[in-house]
Amino acid sequence: MFPPRRSYTVPLADGRVLELGPRPFVMGILNVTPDSFAESSSRTDPNAALELALRMEADGADMIDVGGESTRPGAEPLPAAEEARRVLPVLQKLHGRIRVPISIDTYKAEIAELAIAEGAVLVNDVSGLRYEPALAEVVARTGAALVLMHTRGRSKAMYREAHYDDVVREVGGEIEASLAVATGAGVGRDRLIVDPGIGFAKRAADSYGVLARLPELAVRLDRPVLVGPSRKSFMQGVLGSKPAPERDWGTAAAVTAAVLAGAHVVRVHAVAGMVQVVRVAEEIRSAIQA
């Protein structure tokens, strides 16, 4: 029913590698912003962030993604100095305490370089190198891995550009352009992970369409696929106007669909519960393919 999940070895900045394919990985989201859409309380205090990261690791997170700027639709851009003020103390706390790989969620070359110096080994770029192409040069020089997410436009205007004749074909083509920018700057293709950008410059129907046709996208791009549906507003049409922290059941359904469709990584807030979801969904997938 579902195609086999391809396996990839993704080198990281510290010499470790991610073996993506044998099982889906869970990336825990560690937002250190005062205005995250998905959480009811701020986690800008480095000690609180460390406590949450340790809990995520104990709950089964395979990676932890640290972000200091909200990129939700409508968000204002954050100056690099403020982003650095938020994330660097957290990364310093995590360095040496967290065993799983640390990712930095940023599109800024300056922040990526600072974060990698503090122990981040992977860069998660929501812009797919569209905002700051110079980020690719930092990744190439430091040997970090890079997630290229699909979006269109900046946060305040992305929904104006959410018009597709064939969402999977167009998203695939635009991610291919991002892959070309990365490799053109010297980033090894083996260091690249792709993310179709659920909820970013997409109407709800587009996000569901991407999830439903994920195997098609994976075959076309031939890179590990990360899917991030966690608590996003594309679910509101079927769940009603629940606040983001109350969308974990809907997230569980989307995560199950992503795993069945062959996602290599799912990016989530509620790590403990989603680890259970991922493990059961993977067993179902394995039984289908047996």
Q: Is residue 88 part of a domain?
A: yes
Domain range for 62 is: 8-289
pLDDT tops 80 at residue 50: yes
Average pLDDT value for residue range 76-90: 94
Residue-level pLDDT at 187 = 98
The active-site residue out of 43, 86, 130, 267 is 267
Secondary element (H or E) of residue 53: helix 46-58
Average pLDDT value for residue range 65-94: 91
**What is the overall mean pLDDT for the chain?**
93
**Tokens in use for 143?**
């040997």
Measured distance CA(196)–CA(171) in Å, rounded: 7
Residue-level pLDDT at 229 = 97
pLDDT tops 60 at residue 211: yes
Instruction: Give the pLDDT confidence of 189-210 residue by residue, as tens digits.
Output: 999 999 999 999 999 999 999 9
Q: Is residue 240 part of a domain?
A: yes
Decide: 50 and 93 in contact? Cβ < 8 Å: yes
* Sequence-ordered strand ranges (E) for the chain: 8-11, 17-20, 25-31, 63-67, 102-105, 122-125, 145-149, 192-195, 226-227, 265-268
Residue-level pLDDT at 36 = 57
Q: Is residue 3 part of a domain?
A: no
Instruction: Give residue 42's pLDDT band: very low, low, confident or very high (50, 70, 90).
Output: low
**Tokens in use for 259?**
């795993």
Average pLDDT value for residue range 219-242: 95
Residue-level pLDDT at 43 = 63
Tell me, yes or no, if 232 is annotated catalytic. Answer: yes
Q: Is residue 185 part of a domain?
A: yes
Task: Kindly state the DSSP code that residue 228 receives in the 8-state scheme.
Answer: -
Q: Is residue 137 part of a domain?
A: yes
Q: Is residue 2 part of a domain?
A: no
CA-angle at 253, arms to 246 and 157, nearest 5°: 65
39 half-sphere exposure, CB direction, 13 A CA radius: 17
The active-site residue out of 232, 242, 247, 279 is 232
Instruction: Give the pLDDT confidence of 152-191 residue by residue, as tens digits.
Output: 987 666 778 889 999 999 999 999 999 999 999 999 999 9
Assign residue 91 the CATH number of its domain: 3.20.20.20
Q: Quick one: which of 234, 174, 170 has its CA closest to 200?
A: 234
Q: Is residue 169 part of a domain?
A: yes
Q: Is residue 155 part of a domain?
A: yes
Tell me, yes or no, if 160 is annotated catalytic. Answer: no
CA distance between the termini of the chain:
11
Residue-level pLDDT at 159 = 73
Average pLDDT value for residue range 268-286: 97
Average pLDDT value for residue range 234-245: 92
Residue-level pLDDT at 2 = 78
Place of tokens 């997938």: 285
Residue-level pLDDT at 40 = 46
Task: Kindly state the DSSP code that residue 166 receives in the 8-state scheme.
Answer: S
pTM of the model as a whole = 0.95
Three-class DSSP category at 261:
coil
Residue-level pLDDT at 85 = 96
Number of compact structural domains in the chain: 1
Average pLDDT value for residue range 225-236: 96
Phi first, then psi, for residue 122 (nearest 5°) are -145, 140
**Burial label, 283 (beta-carbon count in 10 A; 0-12, 13-18, 19+):** exposed
